[in-house]
Structure 1
Amino acid sequence: MNQPSVWTGQTVAPGIGLGPAFLLRRERKAVPRLGITDVDHQLQRLDDAIERAAKLLHVHRDRAAKRFGDVIARIFDTHLMILEDEPAFDEIREMIRSEKVAPRFAVYTILEQYAKRFEGQDDTYFQDRAQDVRDVCRRLVNQLDGEADTVLSDIPDEPV
């Protein structure tokens, strides 16, 4: 027999929801500082990962809009805007060039700095964006590692 559980987390839409829960476990991976020798190749890997992540986010956004409505789909628009943030990705590229570190380390280091800046704001809107930045970071690290992303088709109907 299943025992009742109490979970806390972040909501993605306002209001109260009743129904089956979908628990998305996202463990933080260790991202060690690894050196590189072929900077151009690693910069290309980063660009390829950004492109793949953006394509997946477009797919997720379209599926979310059809399945859950525009409010949920806008989450993916926010993630796409983060991927298009040139100053942040210029910093990542510069770190790869100057410190000769693997893209996954540069992505994690720079985006975590951005997330901490958001968390340090007084406005809860900006504090909430820290998780969006971390979600994009996780997606990019997964792309760089060749790992699959959770897809909306894996989520049961009418989850809470």
Structure 2
Amino acid sequence: MSIQMFGQPVSRGVAIGRAVLVASSRVDVAHYFIDPVHAAAEVARLRHARDTVVEEITALKDDLPPEAPHELAALLDVHLMLLNDPMLTEATRHWIEVRHYNAEWAMTAQTDVLVRQFDEMDDDYLRERKADIEQVAERVLRALAKEESLLPQVGQARGLDSGDPLVLVANDIAPADMLQFKGSVFKGFVTDVGGRTSHTAIVARSMDIPAVVGAREASRLVRQDDWLIIDGDAGVVVVNPTPIVLEDYRYRQRASELERARLHRLRHMPSVTLDGQPIELLANIELPGDAVNALEAGAVRVGLFRSEFLFMNRDGGLPDEDEQFEAYRAAVLAMAGLPVTIRTVDIGADKPLDRMAVHELRHEHALNPALGLRAIRWSLSEPAMFRQQL
């Protein structure tokens, strides 16, 4: 029987393939009280699991391929920051030492507390940051249970040597696991949870993967090997489509590919409305090398060079004046005389700096992390660095 499910469209395109259903991201954990004399050992077990996850994410970040989107490294840094945040680690330790919860129970209890705080936020973008908390907690719980992460199990779920295209169905997918989509057999994905501004959605768009998130019961209703259509433009998932619907979407796929090719040929044509009003297409870039892609895409200037990406993923060292000069010079030269607007370093919140302490990244008296020591406030607190950049 063919059914339709509706979610939020977050990355354009149509994906057609057989469903690869992964286990729910919710880890079943035991809940029991420990003897107080064993509290130190339980805390040590939790710390070891946390350190294991830190090593795993650090290794993922270090092994990022050159073609990986720049946003992915920043998101991995966010997860590392959370793993070292006292609001997660020290508070979880409190549940063990005071309430005498076992490590798994303590982690889920503190995660629920933090998730409720994010649920109470008015801002949609900040509210969806709770997904990062849940994904980090899930990795720690799996480390405690010595389980593998979700996506490596996909290869065991069904033989990947089949000629059929595949799409992934899951409760949620962490940005770190999205690395496996680059050049993989998966043509798209659908998740039960998530929103337009979730980090999973951001990475999906940067990697141009058709995706629908927030489809609620997708992982429960879809069965292994069902044929799926993921309409990333409309936010629709069709399960076991009829031959007519399947052929219609295959036609849409071909039409979309032709349209992209047609638009690609027009990228250097002047952008003018029907009534003769010129429209400028500006590009946002993170690194000097992005300027080449911006120019190839037809941008007439760089509207925003996010200079903070030069400061991130450097193991605590900051770029000196010469390095920054060469980076800005490379971007200007790559744009071949077209204007380049450079923003001063915007560090903080979801873009942490390796050498910053956790308390520097969070406003201690508000739930909104954007109110902390970040952006121009951080620059003014570091006058030597700020003068050097200017």
* TM-score interval, normalised by the smaller of the two chains: 0.7 to 0.9
Higher mean C-alpha deviation, range 116-125 or range 42-51? 116-125
Closer, same or farther: CA 23–62 of 1 in aligned 2, 3 Å: farther
3-state DSSP class of the match of 2:88? helix
The answer for the alignment partner of 2:133 in structure 1 is: 133
State how 1:57-76 maps to structure 2 within 5 Å.
57-64=57-64, 66-76=66-76
In structure 2, runs of 5+ residues without a counterpart are 153-176, 188-208, 210-390
How many angstroms does 1:62 deviate by?
Answer: 3.4
Is the aligned partner of 1:157 residue 2:179? no
3-state DSSP class of the match of 2:87? helix
The count of corresponding residues between Structure 1 and Structure 2 is: 155
Higher mean C-alpha deviation, range 92-101 or range 68-77? 68-77
Deviations 1:88-130 (A, max 9, x none): 3111111101111111110111012101211210011211111
Structure in which a larger fraction of residues adopt strand: 2
TM-score for both structures, normalised by structure 1: 0.79
Deviations 1:42-71 (A, max 9, x none): 111011001001111112233445452211
Closer, same or farther: CA 98–58 of 1 in aligned 2, 3 Å: same
The answer for the alignment partner of 2:39 in structure 1 is: 39
* Larger Cα-atom Rg: 2
Distance 1:102 1:10 in 2: 40
Distance 1:61 1:95 in 2: 31
TM-score for both structures, normalised by structure 2: 0.35
In structure 1, runs of 5+ residues without a counterpart are none
The answer for the alignment partner of 1:26 in structure 2 is: 24
3-state DSSP class of the match of 2:128? helix
Distance 2:65 2:116 in 1: 30
| Cα pair 1:65 1:73 within 8 Å, conserved | no
Runs of 4+ in 1 over 3 A off after TM superposition: 3-11, 17-27, 62-67, 150-156
| Cα pair 2:27 2:142 within 8 Å, conserved | no
Closer, same or farther: CA 61–24 of 1 in aligned 2, 3 Å: farther
| Cα pair 2:53 2:140 within 8 Å, conserved | yes
Identity of aligned residues (%): 19
| Cα pair 2:111 2:137 within 8 Å, conserved | yes
